[in-house]
Amino acid sequence: MTGLLGRHERRWALAIVGAFGLLALLPLAVRRDDVLNFVFLILLSITLAESWNIVAGYAGQVNLGHAAFFGLGALVARTLWIGGTPIAVGLVAGAAVATLFALLIGVAAFRLRGAYFAIGTLALGEILRTTVSNVLPEISTLPAATIAAYRLTERYYLALALAAISVLAVAGLAGSRLGLGMRAIREDEEAAEASGVGALRLKLTALALSTGLAGLAGGLFAFYHISYYPSHPFGPHWTFDALLMTFIGGVGTLHGPVLGAVLYVVLKEFVALRWVDFHLLIFGALFIAIVLLLPGGLVQAGERFARWGRL
Amino acid sequence: MSVLAQQLLLGLLLGGLYGLAAAGLSLVFGVLKVLDVAHGELIMLGGYMAFFVVALLGIDPFASLLLVLPLSLLLGLTLYWGLFGFVVRADEETRVKNSLLIGFGLALALHALAVQLWTADERSIVTPYGGAVLSVGGLSIPVVRLVSLALAFALIGGLHLLLARWRWGKAIRATAEDWQAALLTGIDVRRAYLLAFAIGTALAGAAGTLVTIGYSVSPSIGLEWTLKALIVVVLAGLGSMIGTFVGGLLLGVAEAASAAAFGGPYREVVGLVIFVVVLVVRPRGLFGR
C-alpha cells in the first residue's frame, strides 16, 4: 500500500515539477508584467497551501493560526533585507524564526486536540496580528534605490523555486515513514500511540516543516511587495485562503492543494474584475459542499470520475 | 480614579453583550456538540435585520427585537435543516471538526454576501434618546447601553427559565447531559437539537440588535464576535446560562482594565491571552472532563 501511494505521488510530483519547468521559460517568451504577476500569485498560493497541507492534511491538525508564521517570515525577512542583508539570508532567517516560534508554542498548543487546537491557534494568530499592528502601525515601503532596482523576474523565479520546494517536500513526506506516522496520527491518535508512533514528536515535526515553508512564503511576500502594512501578512485571510485551496483541491494529497490554488487564484482574479470578495461567497459555499459531500475534494471527484470511465 | 471607574463601567456594559453573544454559542455547543464558528456572522446578520426593521418601519430600535427574534429563529431553523442537521449525524469527534469547518465556510460566505448586499460600510441605529446620559456619583451611564444590558440580562434570565421549566427546555438539558440516555427515555433528540440551534441563533440575532443600537454593525464584525463568544464560553464553561452571562461581564471588565493599564489597542489581546491560557491549562477544554 505504501509502495503504491509512493508511486502515485511520485508521478504527480514529476508532472507538477515538469509544469514548473515549463513555467521557468515563461519570462523568456512573455514580457508582460501582468502575466508574470498572475503566475507569481498562483505560485505563492501553491507554497502557502502545500505548507498548510503538511500539518492539516497529513498530521490532521487544523491550524487556524497559519498566518502568524507567514507574517513572522515576512516581518523578519523584510526587516533584515531593508537593513542591508541579502534577501536569501533574510528568507532563511524568517523561516527559522517562524519555525522556532512554532516549536515554542507547539508544545503547549498540542496539548489541545481537534477543534480546540484549531480555535487555540486562531486566537494565537489574532494575538500576534493585533500586537504587530500596535507596535508597527506605519506602512513599510522600500527605499527609492531598491524600487529603482526592482526586477519582477527575480521574484518570479524565487516564487517558482519555493513552490517546487514545497511540492517536493510534500512528495518526499508522503512516501516516507515520517509521513506514514503522521497519517496514522490523523486517523487515530490513540491507536497510533499504541502502535509506537511518538505523536507529539511527529506533530511537532509536521508543524516545524509546515511553518518553515510558511515563513519562506512570507519572506517572498516581503521581497515582492513595494509597500504594505507590517500587520497585513498576519491577517487571518492568509490562513483562510490556504485552508480553502487545500480543502477544495483535496486535503492530504500532493496535487490537491496545487489544483485548489490554481482554481482559487484564477477564479478570484476573474471575479474580482467585477465584484470585490465575491469569490469568497462561491468558495465558501463550495467548501461547505465539499466538507459535507466530498471530503477528498476535487482530487476525490476526479478519481471517482476516472473509475466510472474504466467500468 | 473616576476615569478608571468610568472605563470599567463601560466595560461592564459591553460585557453584558459579550455574555448574550456567548449564551447562544454555549447553548449550541453544549447541546449539539457543534462548534459553530459562524456565530459572529449570525450576530452580524441580526444587526442588519434590526437596522432594516428600524429603517423601514420607523419603530423604536429596542422594539425591533420583537421582529428580529422570530426572524433569527427562522434563520436558525433553516440553517439547521440545510446544514447542521447533517453534521449531527456523525460521531462526536467528527462532529466538532466538521462543524468547525462548515461554520468557517458559512462565515466566509455570509461575510461576502453581506458585503455584496449592504457594502462594507459601518452602520448603526440612531436613537432619538441616543445621547442621553444618567449621572450617578460622578459617573455617566449612557442610557442606551444601560437598557441594552438590562435587556441582555432579561433575555438570559428568560432562557434560564425556559430551560428550567419548559417541557422541551428540560429535554434540551437532558440531551446536553447525555444524548443516548435522553434517547432511551423517549426524548426526540433531533427535535431538541433543532430547538437548541434555533434558540441559539435567535440569541445571536438579539445580540446583533443590541450591538447595532449601542455600537455599530459592518460585514466584518463576525470574527471578532465569534472570538469574544468563544473566550466567554471557555471562561465560564458549559451548562449555566447565568454563569455565561457573568463570564461576559468579567471579560468586559477585564478588557477595560487592561485597556487602562496597557493602552486601548491592547484590549483585544488580553481576552485572547486569557483564552489561550485557560485552554492550555485545561487541555480537554470546555468540557473539563
- Is residue A249's pLDDT more than 60? yes
**60-99 of B, contacting A, C-beta below 8 A:** 83, 86-87, 93, 96-99
Q: What is the CA radius of gyration of chain A?
A: 19
- The mean per-residue pLDDT over the stretch A218-236 comes to 93
- Per-residue pLDDT of B142-169, as tens digits, reads 888 888 999 999 999 999 898 888 888 8
Any A CB within 8 A of B9 CB = no
- Which pLDDT tens digit goes with each residue over A284-301? 888 898 888 888 888 888
Instruction: Residue A288: name the closest of B84, B32, B245 by CA.
Output: B84
Per residue in A159-191, pLDDT (tens digit) is 999 999 999 999 989 888 888 889 998 888 888
Q: Does B107 touch chain A (CB under 8 A)?
A: yes
DSSP B142-210: EHHHHHHHHHHHHHHHHHHHHHHHSHHHHHHHHHHH-HHHHHHTT--HHHHHHHHHHHHHHHHHHHHHH
What is the distance between the alpha carbons of residues A12 and A299, in angstroms, rounded to a whole number? 12
Contact criterion met (CB < 8 Å) for A284 and B97: no
Phi/psi-derived region of residue B90, left when phi > 0, alpha when psi is between -120 and 50, beta in every other case: beta
Per-residue DSSP letter, A255? S
Q: Look at residue A5 in the predicted model and tell me its pLDDT.
A: 54
- Tell which B residues from 176 to 235 touch A, by Cβ distance under 8 Å: 223, 227, 230-231
Question: How many other C-beta atoms lie within 10 A of the C-beta of residue A296?
Answer: 18
For residue A165, what pLDDT is reported? 95
What's at A129, amino acid-wise?
A: R
Instruction: Decide if pLDDT at B190 tops 70.
Output: yes
CB within 8 Å: B108 and A62? no
d(CA A93, CA A81): 10
- Identify the pLDDT of residue B131: 77
- Touching check for B119 and chain A: CB below 8 Å? no
Cell for A49?
Answer: 497551501
| Alpha helical stretches, state H, chain A | 2-29, 33-53, 66-82, 87-109, 114-135, 144-148, 152-174, 177-187, 189-194, 199-224, 236-249, 256-272, 278-293, 297-310
pLDDT of residue B266: 80
For residues B49-66, average pLDDT: 91
Q: How many CB atoms lie within 10 A of CB A1?
A: 6
State percent of chain A over pLDDT 70.
97
Amino acid type, B153: F
pLDDT beyond 90 at B87: no
Beta partners for B123? B217
- Is the pLDDT reported for residue B288 higher than 60? no
Q: Most B CBs within 10 Å: which of A291, A292, A293, A294, as the mutation test of the B interface?
A: A291
Instruction: Out of A35-49, B185-199, B227-241, pick the least confident.
Output: B227-241
Average pLDDT, integer, range A272-278: 75
Task: Report which of B193, B180, B164 is spatially closest to residue B28, judged by C-alpha positions.
Answer: B193
Contact A299, A253 (CB under 8 A): yes
Q: What distance in Å separates residue A29's CA from the closest CA in chain B?
A: 38
Partner-chain contact A291 B98, CB within 8 Å: yes
- Cβ-Cβ contacts under 8 Å, A127 against chain B: 269, 272-273, 276
pTM of the model: 0.88
Q: Is the pLDDT of residue B79 over 90?
A: yes
**Does B266 touch chain A if contact means CB atoms closer than 8 Å?**
yes
A62, A236, A284 member nearest B105 (Cβ): A284
Contacts of A245 in chain B (CB under 8 A): none
